[in-house]
């Protein structure tokens, strides 16, 4: 709709001079969103004033020779505006409304969960907006700070380009909450990334005979950085004996996975979690 | 005409009704509905007919009549007989209906017979077949079936401490600030893929792992692409996958493309989709005594026992197996549903058939178990 | 008037209609048929016409199907009346009209064979038929009842046209026949053989024996004229139907139906499809046989009755399978039993008057008891029947769920809802891949298996579950995201194929399941979409012929009928006493 109105207005302003005497209309080149603007006019008598811009269009009667006053609330949206004054003749002018100073910003961080010790695994991007939700294209400096626990991990100041500032960095070494803060002047936004343990490392099992077979369990399962692998992670126990093979997919609970395996003969038990293998355990036949 | 016509019509009707008994008449029952009795039942004067009558009454859930066709020498009672055919504990059998059967005598003497029956069950998860051998004996002028003692699982009273572990999903409200509460989809990865031609069409299979620390609902889609780059067909892994994968859990998947040959396929486009879902880490089901053997019909079958290590009943278990060749490549994925419930701390046998063409190449296998528990889905 | 004398006169037709109103009016006003198998199906079709009169393409079922695959008259009448009475009451009103038209039709049809007195008792008896109660209250076969009621009213005109060459009869006969076809085509097709056949036969006998003015050749030639005119008319009025059926002949795998079973092998089926529909009429079967055979004029009717009875026995005899071929696996046979009972009514009318003449009040009491117990048993059977439709379920939460939060961007199916599926479909804007009308299905996941609605999949055993599995396998293709379950039987399958329970309605009576990776539904392209001109034709001609028939009945009233000598409800020893003025 806005585009149609703009085209109509331009066509009208092009056609009007054919039937009118030239008239002077001086508009400012650039205006900050939300600011009041006055446009001086020359001549005398009544004229019709048109304002066409992003999300706004207005028609009103004005007196030539007096200033035309545009309220700040008509100029909230950044972008190109067209003004048109028609009496016997029409005259037009355009001006650009730029975003005001940053009043808020959107801050996106990816991913929400990340294994520890991964390079270029955490990224974030900030978009500053003014109070009217216009993207601020004027370069501003955004400060990014990453902290795990109370320990700072990463800090960087980045100038926005085309309204965006971003960073990318490696995840930390310890599982837990990674706080990511972006700040711009007195504005700040906080996001959290869950740093989780990586693949299990040095997976080890112990076992013993019980009346119904073999009870095997892992030692506390950690990743290579020493983080406890989260509960619920599946550990696969495989027991091979002369009669065949038995497998149990058991979840880690309280740091340990355990399983009962029905095996009476000499048994070799191995363990794996995902694509990571652990040690093998040989248990003798039931006496 | 006054008498000839009505008599002719009555005779014709009777003749047609008698003919109807021999042409196309079926005593099919409707699932879940006792369908009434047959007005006419052939006499059990031979072993096959006796067994047919028994199974027809089982189909109609006419238990008294069915039991009357069972020999008094059988080591069964009415309750366990009914339980044997209708299932218990919310098992797959308890949802199933005997849809049909085919019998084949194995051995018949004047007083005793051994008959093999292929039972066709209609179940919620699709048709299932069950092969059973029955022994029949002549008692006077009729044959009766001798049923063995039915083993009903007996779980001793006990207390099983369980550290209950589950993941709940909390959805953010619509009013949340943009980007402040996003939770990423779980990270899953296809770790192997193989495409083969089978008797029914092309098959794409392999394994997928949940590499994340949260449970994932996974589905694998495959699109067959021809040499011109156009999609021939796209299908999903459907029930040949364990859809809910816990962290680091691996599941086989199989995608069937019926009536399509790989000859026309240039490439396969794989697409794994993962979403975050609530899940529970229990129950844990162990797969014991896995062994490939030949069954009575000469087919290669992977046998084993499912052992419920938890304190809750698993109503229906679904076994999915990936078979590997000597290069550790997945060469087949097969599955099967267990028709008996898994009671706490008890075992039930399972069997999964391996196609003839695949069986000689199988070097290793990996079994996963998916489960359904009433009221906990 | 003495009691004896009152029995010796025909019952006025207005009184018979009032009895029909008294018996069926309250039952229909209580909306008893709303729980029947097909009532919601008819209302669903009517609801579409109420909103899209000239567009028969309905996207709410099967991902899109054409309503030109089912004759529209009754649905269009419901749609019209729904504007003033609401959908459900409009259905009841149309059903009531059909029920009131039926005894009128039976009376007029019976007069071809017997005198007015016997015909009036035949009409009175037809109100209490178990088969009528079965069709109206259990099966919900609105179209069958409406069509046969119209057809029985058309047949006397056919007879009059053949025997008397009255142009008025020809025009009215054709108009009512076309209206009957617009209500239900199958009734007309089989009616040609089972109803019109005996009428033609008796007209030829009457012409041969000079009981009527026309000659045999005249009767034959006029029958051909009538048949050609009706054939052409049906061809035009239902043109979109014929085009649809030619474009997509029914190639689907046969769907089992208990009316095709052998009743001897299943006592419940025998009760449902034979004992209940016939009721006390079973006791009259020997009389029907012997009386029908005794009179040459009644023999065509007897043969027609016998053939229809045999068809009504479904798979109990092989005759229907032999004669119908593949059509045997498509048709359901309870309607044949209904037709057989209607064909028996003229002869039953003679039995009634003979009993009344001989036993007066005792016979009246016995006949009344027989009639009331027949209809009463059929109504009792509604609840006693193990095949009865599921008890009414509150589907409002399902409708509300589908209509909120953009859920209607996806398709859905219901499981274990029975005919309530149609009710959900009427009131939701979401589409389903399921539907309650077998002949319109084109999706291969449904036509390649021997089962009907997915919502009833388990009742079709392995075939039904295979069809459901095939549909779920292609859930992403069809945007099938939501499944509503009213039967825990289906829960294991949904769990294993990746659906997840997301909501519970009505204290757990219904659960909603969802699959997370299903994309929104998109329009399914189909070559079955009727072009606009067919929609126009469909919206004008069928309803148009019904209006034409009404206007012709009003504008061209019948002369008061002089009892014809042809009425021969004869008892050999005293034939003349039945010729009452």
A49-78 pLDDT per residue, tens: 999 999 889 999 988 888 888 988 889 999
Average pLDDT (B323-349) is: 92
Compute the mean pLDDT over every residue in chain C, rounded to the nearest whole number.
90
Domain with A248 in it: 200-283
Q: Is B171 on the interface with C (CB under 8 A)?
A: no
Beta carbons within 8 Å of C167's beta carbon, 6+ residues apart: none
Residues C195 and C177: their CA atoms lie apart, in Å, by 12
pLDDT, position C386: 76
The total number of structural domains that make up chain A: 3
Running DSSP on this structure, what letter comes out for residue A44?
-
pLDDT interval class at B175 (50, 70, 90) = low
Residues A8, A94, single domain; the answer is: yes
Q: Which helix (H) or strand (E) holds A37?
A: strand A37-39
Average pLDDT (B292-308) is: 88
pLDDT at C321 over 80: yes
pLDDT at C569 over 70: no
Closest residue in B to A254 (Cα) is B163
**Residue that is last in its domain, among A98, A115, A146:** A98
pLDDT, position C283: 95
Cβ pair C293:B31 closer than 8 A: no
Q: Which residues of A touch B191 (CB under 8 A)?
A: 275
Beta carbons within 8 Å of B136's beta carbon, 6+ residues apart: B47, B50, B51, B71, B112, B113, B114, B115, B143, B144, B145, B146
pLDDT at C80 over 70: yes
Closest residue in C to B10 (Cα) is C289
pLDDT, position B26: 46
Residues C264 and C256: their CA atoms lie apart, in Å, by 17
Cβ pair B20:C316 closer than 8 A: yes
Instruction: Annotate B278-338 with DSSP letters as a single string.
Output: -EE----EEEEEEEEEE-TTS-EEEEEEEEE-SSS-B-EEEEEEEEE-TTS-EEEEEEEEE
Residue written as token pair 């294991």: C492
pLDDT, position B176: 53
Residues C320 and C323: their CA atoms lie apart, in Å, by 5
Q: Which residues of B touch A108 (CB under 8 A)?
A: 178-179, 182
pLDDT interval class at B178 (50, 70, 90) = low
Residues A208, A141, single domain; the answer is: no
Which B positions 129-168 lie with beta carbon below 8 A of chain C? none
Instruction: Annotate B51-80 with DSSP letters as a single string.
Output: HHHHHHHHHHT-HHHHHHTB-TTSS--HHH
Superfamily of domain B39-146 in the CATH hierarchy: NTF2-like; domain 1 (3.10.450.100)
Compute the mean pLDDT over every residue in chain B, rounded to the nearest whole number.
86
pLDDT at B34 over 80: no
pLDDT, position C30: 92
Superfamily of domain B166-170+183-280 in the CATH hierarchy: Immunoglobulins (2.60.40.10)
pLDDT at B28 over 60: no
Asked whether the domain spanning B285-372 has the same topology as the one spanning B39-146, the reply is no
Q: Which residues of A touch B249 (CB under 8 A)?
A: 234, 249, 274
Q: Where are the domains of chain B?
A: 39-146, 166-170+183-280, 285-372
Q: Which residues of A touch B283 (CB under 8 A)?
A: none
Cβ pair B127:C465 closer than 8 A: yes
* A216 to chain B, closest Cα gap in Å: 13
pLDDT, position B172: 64
Residues A57, A28, single domain; the answer is: yes
pLDDT at A18 over 60: no
pLDDT interval class at A17 (50, 70, 90) = very low
pLDDT at B180 over 70: no
Q: Is B182 on the interface with A (CB under 8 A)?
A: yes
pLDDT, position C564: 45
A258: nearest Cα among B320, B284, B213: B284
pLDDT interval class at C404 (50, 70, 90) = very high
Average pLDDT (C320-327) is: 87
pLDDT winner (highest mean) among A209-213, C240-244, C522-526: C240-244
Residues B164 and A254: their CA atoms lie apart, in Å, by 11
* A89 to chain B, closest Cα gap in Å: 49
Cβ–Cβ < 8 Å for C141, C135: yes
Residues A131, A186, single domain; the answer is: yes
Residues B240 and B330: their CA atoms lie apart, in Å, by 14
Cβ pair B366:A247 closer than 8 A: yes
Average pLDDT (C397-405) is: 94
Cβ of B103: how many Cβ atoms within 10 Å? 17
Cβ pair C386:B34 closer than 8 A: yes
- In this complex, which chains have at least 3 CB pairs below 8 Å with chain C? B
pLDDT at A10 over 70: no
Q: In a mutagenesis test of the B interface, which of C465, C517, C571, C572 is the best target, namely the one with the most B β-carbons within 10 Å?
A: C517
C251-272 pLDDT per residue, tens: 666 777 888 888 888 888 899 9
pLDDT interval class at B159 (50, 70, 90) = confident
Residues A218, A262, single domain; the answer is: yes
The minimal CB distance from B124 to the residues C261, C489, C516 is found for: C489
pLDDT interval class at A20 (50, 70, 90) = very low
pLDDT interval class at A21 (50, 70, 90) = very low
pLDDT at B194 over 90: yes
How long a stretch of residues is chain C? Answer: 581
pLDDT interval class at B377 (50, 70, 90) = low
Q: Where are the domains of chain C?
A: 10-387+533-561, 396-514
Cβ pair A197:B213 closer than 8 A: yes
C274-310 pLDDT per residue, tens: 999 999 999 999 999 999 999 999 999 999 999 999 9
Q: In a mutagenesis test of the B interface, which of C282, C449, C496, C515 is the best target, namely the one with the most B β-carbons within 10 Å?
A: C496
C90-116 pLDDT per residue, tens: 999 999 999 999 999 999 999 999 999
pLDDT, position C210: 85
Please state which architecture CATH assigns to domain B285-372.
Sandwich (2.60)
C443-496 pLDDT per residue, tens: 889 888 878 889 989 888 888 999 999 999 999 999 999 999 999 999 999 999
Q: Are strands A30-32 and A90-98 parallel, antiparallel or unpaired?
A: parallel
Q: In a mutagenesis test of the B interface, which of A232, A233, A252, A276 is the best target, namely the one with the most B β-carbons within 10 Å?
A: A232
The minimal CB distance from B368 to the residues A106, A249, A251 is found for: A249
pLDDT interval class at B31 (50, 70, 90) = very low
Q: In chain B, what percentage of residues exceed pLDDT 90?
A: 49
The minimal CB distance from B125 to the residues C316, C476, C493 is found for: C493
Average pLDDT (B147-157) is: 76
Q: Which helix (H) or strand (E) holds C6?
A: helix C3-7
Cβ pair B288:A236 closer than 8 A: no
Average pLDDT (C384-397) is: 76
pTM of the model: 0.83
Q: In a mutagenesis test of the A interface, which of B247, B301, B310, B364 is the best target, namely the one with the most A β-carbons within 10 Å?
A: B247
Cβ pair A112:B246 closer than 8 A: no
> Comparing C235 with C383, which gets the higher pLDDT?
C235
Burial C286-297 (b: 16+ CB within 10 A, else e): ebbbbbbbbbeb
- Backbone φ/ψ region at C210: left (φ over 0), alpha (ψ -120 to 50), beta: left
Cβ pair B209:A247 closer than 8 A: no
pLDDT, position B187: 92
pLDDT at A90 over 90: no
Residues B211 and A115: their CA atoms lie apart, in Å, by 10
pLDDT, position A1: 46
Closest residue in B to A105 (Cα) is B178
Cβ pair B179:A107 closer than 8 A: yes
Residues B244 and A251: their CA atoms lie apart, in Å, by 14
Taking every pair of C-alpha atoms in chain B, what is the biggest distance, in angstroms?
94
pLDDT, position C122: 97
The minimal CB distance from B5 to the residues C266, C286, C293 is found for: C293
Q: Is B21 on the interface with A (CB under 8 A)?
A: no
Q: Is B169 on the interface with C (CB under 8 A)?
A: no
Q: Which residues of B touch C292 (CB under 8 A)?
A: 5-6
* B150 to chain A, closest Cα gap in Å: 24
SS3 B174: coil
Cβ pair C317:B20 closer than 8 A: yes
SS3 C94: helix
pLDDT at B82 over 80: yes
Chains A and C touch (3+ CB pairs under 8 A): no
pLDDT, position B37: 59
pLDDT, position C4: 53
Q: In a mutagenesis test of the A interface, which of B156, B248, B291, B362 is the best target, namely the one with the most A β-carbons within 10 Å?
A: B248
pLDDT at A170 over 60: yes
* B305 to chain A, closest Cα gap in Å: 9
Beta carbons within 8 Å of C228's beta carbon, 6+ residues apart: none
pLDDT, position C566: 43
Q: In chain A, what percentage of residues exceed pLDDT 70?
A: 91
Average pLDDT (B242-268) is: 93
pLDDT interval class at C2 (50, 70, 90) = low
φ/ψ of residue C263, rounded to 5: -65, -25
Cβ–Cβ < 8 Å for C478, C484: no
Radius of gyration of chain A (CA): 35
Q: What was the ipTM of the complex prediction?
A: 0.89
């Amino acid at each position: 709709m806005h585009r149609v109105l703009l085209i109509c207005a331009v066509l009208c302003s092009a056609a009007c001079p054919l039937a009118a005497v030239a008239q002077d209309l001086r508009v400012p080149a650039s205006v900050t969103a939300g600011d009041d603007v006055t446009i001086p006019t020359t001549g005398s008598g009544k004229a019709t004033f048109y304002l066409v811009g992003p999300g706004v269009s207005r028609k009103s009667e004005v007196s030539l020779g007096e200033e035309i006053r545009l309220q700040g609330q008509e100029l909230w949206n950044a972008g190109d505006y067209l003004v048109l004054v028609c009496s016997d003749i029409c005259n037009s002018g355009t001006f650009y409304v730029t975003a005001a100073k940053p009043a808020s910003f959107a801050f996106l961080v990816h991913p929400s969960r990340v294994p520890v010790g991964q390079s270029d695994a955490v990224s974030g991007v900030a978009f500053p907006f003014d109070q009217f939700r216009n993207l601020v294209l004027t370069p501003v400096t955004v400060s990014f700070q990453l902290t795990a626990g109370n320990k700072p991990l990463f800090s960087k100041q980045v100038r926005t380009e085309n309204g965006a500032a971003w960073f990318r960095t490696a995840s930390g070494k310890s599982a837990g909450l990674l706080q990511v803060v972006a700040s711009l002047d007195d504005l700040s936004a906080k996001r959290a990334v869950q740093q989780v343990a990586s693949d299990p490392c040095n997976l080890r099992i112990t076992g013993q005979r019980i009346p119904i077979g073999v009870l095997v369990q892992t030692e506390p399962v950690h990743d290579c950085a020493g983080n406890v692998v989260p509960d619920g992670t599946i550990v696969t126990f495989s027991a091979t004996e002369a009669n065949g093979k038995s497998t149990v997919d058991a979840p880690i609970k309280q740091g340990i996975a355990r399983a009962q395996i029905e095996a009476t003969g000499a048994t070799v038990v191995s363990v794996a979690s995902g694509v990571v293998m652990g040690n093998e355990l040989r248990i003798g036949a039931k006496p | 005409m006054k008498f000839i016509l009505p008599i002719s019509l009555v005779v014709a009707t009777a003749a047609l009704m008698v003919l109807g008994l021999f042409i196309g008449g079926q005593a099919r029952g409707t699932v879940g509905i006792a369908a009434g009795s047959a007005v006419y039942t052939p006499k059990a004067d031979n072993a096959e007919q006796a067994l047919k009558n028994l199974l027809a009454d089982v189909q109609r859930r006419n238990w008294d009549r069915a039991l009357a066709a069972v020999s008094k020498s059988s080591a069964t009672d009415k309750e366990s007989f009914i339980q044997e055919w209708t299932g218990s504990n919310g098992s797959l059998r308890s949802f199933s209906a005997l849809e049909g059967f085919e019998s084949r005598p194995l051995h018949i003497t004047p007083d005793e017979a051994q008959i093999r029956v292929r039972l066709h069950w209609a179940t919620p998860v699709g048709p299932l077949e069950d092969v059973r051998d029955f022994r029949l004996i002549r008692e006077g002028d009729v044959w009766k079936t001798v049923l063995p003692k039915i083993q009903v699982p007996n779980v001793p009273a006990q207390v099983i401490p369980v550290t209950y572990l589950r993941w709940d999903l909390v959805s953010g409200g619509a009013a949340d600030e943009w980007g402040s509460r996003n939770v990423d989809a779980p990270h899953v990865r296809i770790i192997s893929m193989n495409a083969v031609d089978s008797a029914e069409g092309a098959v794409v299979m392999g394994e997928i792992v949940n590499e994340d620390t949260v449970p994932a609902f996974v589905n694998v889609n495959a699109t067959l692409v021809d040499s011109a780059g156009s999609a021939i067909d796209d299908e999903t892994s459907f029930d040949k996958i364990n859809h809910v994968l816990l962290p680091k859990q691996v599941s086989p998947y199989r995608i069937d493309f019926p009536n399509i040959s790989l000859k026309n396929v240039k490439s396969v486009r794989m697409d794994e989709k993962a979403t975050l879902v609530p899940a529970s880490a229990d129950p844990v089901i162990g797969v014991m005594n896995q062994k490939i053997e030949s069954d009575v019909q000469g087919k290669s079958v992977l046998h084993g026992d499912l052992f419920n290590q938890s304190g809750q009943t698993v109503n229906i278990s679904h076994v999915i197996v990936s078979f590997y060749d000597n290069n550790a490549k997945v060469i087949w994925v097969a599955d099967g549903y267990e028709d008996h419930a898994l009671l706490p701390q008890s075992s039930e046998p399972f069997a999964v058939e391996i196609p003839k063409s695949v069986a000689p190449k199988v070097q290793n296998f990996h079994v996963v178990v998916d489960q359904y528990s009433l009221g906990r889905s | 008037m003495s009691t004896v004398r009152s029995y010796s006169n025909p019952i006025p037709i207005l009184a018979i209609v009032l009895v029909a109103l008294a018996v069926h009016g309250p039952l229909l006003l209580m909306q008893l048929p709303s729980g029947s198998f097909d009532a919601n199906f008819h209302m669903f079709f009517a609801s579409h016409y109420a909103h899209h009169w000239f567009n028969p393409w309905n996207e709410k079922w099967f991902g899109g199907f054409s309503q030109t695959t089912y004759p529209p008259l009754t649905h269009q009448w419901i749609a019209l009346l729904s504007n003033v009475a609401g959908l459900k009451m409009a259905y009841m009103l149309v059903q009531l009209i059909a029920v009131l038209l039926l005894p009128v039709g039976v009376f007029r049809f019976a007069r071809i064979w017997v005198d007015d007195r016997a015909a009036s008792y035949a009409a009175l008896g037809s109100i209490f038929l178990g088969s009528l109660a079965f069709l109206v209250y259990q099966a919900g076969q609105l179209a069958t009842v409406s069509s046969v009621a119209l057809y029985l009213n058309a047949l006397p005109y056919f007879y009059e046209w053949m025997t008397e060459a009255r142009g008025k009869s020809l025009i009215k006969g054709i108009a009512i026949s076309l209206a009957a076809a617009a209500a239900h085509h199958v009734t007309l097709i089989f009616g040609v053989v089972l109803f019109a056949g005996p009428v033609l036969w008796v007209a030829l006998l009457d012409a041969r024996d000079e009981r009527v003015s026309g000659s045999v050749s005249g009767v034959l030639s006029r029958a051909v004229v009538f048949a050609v005119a009706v054939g052409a008319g049906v061809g035009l009025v239902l043109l979109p139907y014929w085009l649809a059926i030619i474009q997509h002949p029914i190639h689907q795998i046969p769907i089992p139906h208990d009316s095709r079973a052998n009743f001897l092998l299943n006592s419940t089926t025998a009760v449902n499809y034979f004992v209940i529909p016939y009721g006390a009429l079973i006791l009259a079967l020997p009389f029907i046989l012997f009386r029908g055979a005794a009179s040459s004029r009644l023999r065509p009717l007897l043969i027609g009755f016998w053939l229809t009875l045999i068809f009504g026995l479904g798979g109990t005899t092989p005759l229907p399978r032999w004669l119908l071929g593949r059509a045997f696996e498509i048709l359901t046979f309870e309607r044949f039993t209904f037709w057989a009972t209607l064909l028996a009514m003229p002869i039953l009318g003679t039995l009634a008057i003979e009993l009344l003449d001989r036993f007066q009040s005792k016979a009246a009491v016995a006949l009344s008891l027989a009639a009331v117990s027949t209809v009463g048993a059929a109504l009792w059977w509604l609840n006693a029947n193990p095949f009865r439709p599921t008890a009414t379920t509150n589907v409002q939460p399902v409708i509300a769920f589908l209509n909120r939060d953009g859920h209607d961007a996806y398709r859905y199916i219901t499981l274990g809802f029975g005919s309530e599926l149609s009710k959900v479909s009427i009131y939701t804007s979401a589409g389903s891949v399921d539907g309650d009308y077998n002949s319109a299905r084109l999706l291969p996941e449904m036509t390649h298996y021997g089962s009907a609605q997915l919502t009833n999949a388990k009742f079709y055993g392995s075939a039904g579950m295979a069809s459901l599995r095939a549909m779920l396998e292609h859930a992403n293709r069809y945007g099938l995201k939501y499944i509503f379950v009213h039967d825990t039987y289906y829960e294991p399958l949904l769990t294993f194929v990746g659906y997840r329970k997301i909501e519970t309605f009505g204290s757990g009576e219904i659960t909603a399941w969802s699959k997370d990776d299903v994309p929104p539904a998109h329009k399914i392209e189909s070559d079955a979409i009727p072009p606009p001109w067919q929609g126009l034709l469909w919206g004008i001609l069928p309803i148009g012929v019904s209006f034409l028939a009404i206007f012709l009945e009003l504008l061209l009233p019948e002369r008061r009928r002089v009892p014809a000598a042809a009425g021969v409800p004869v008892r050999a020893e005293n034939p003349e006493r039945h010729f009452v003025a």
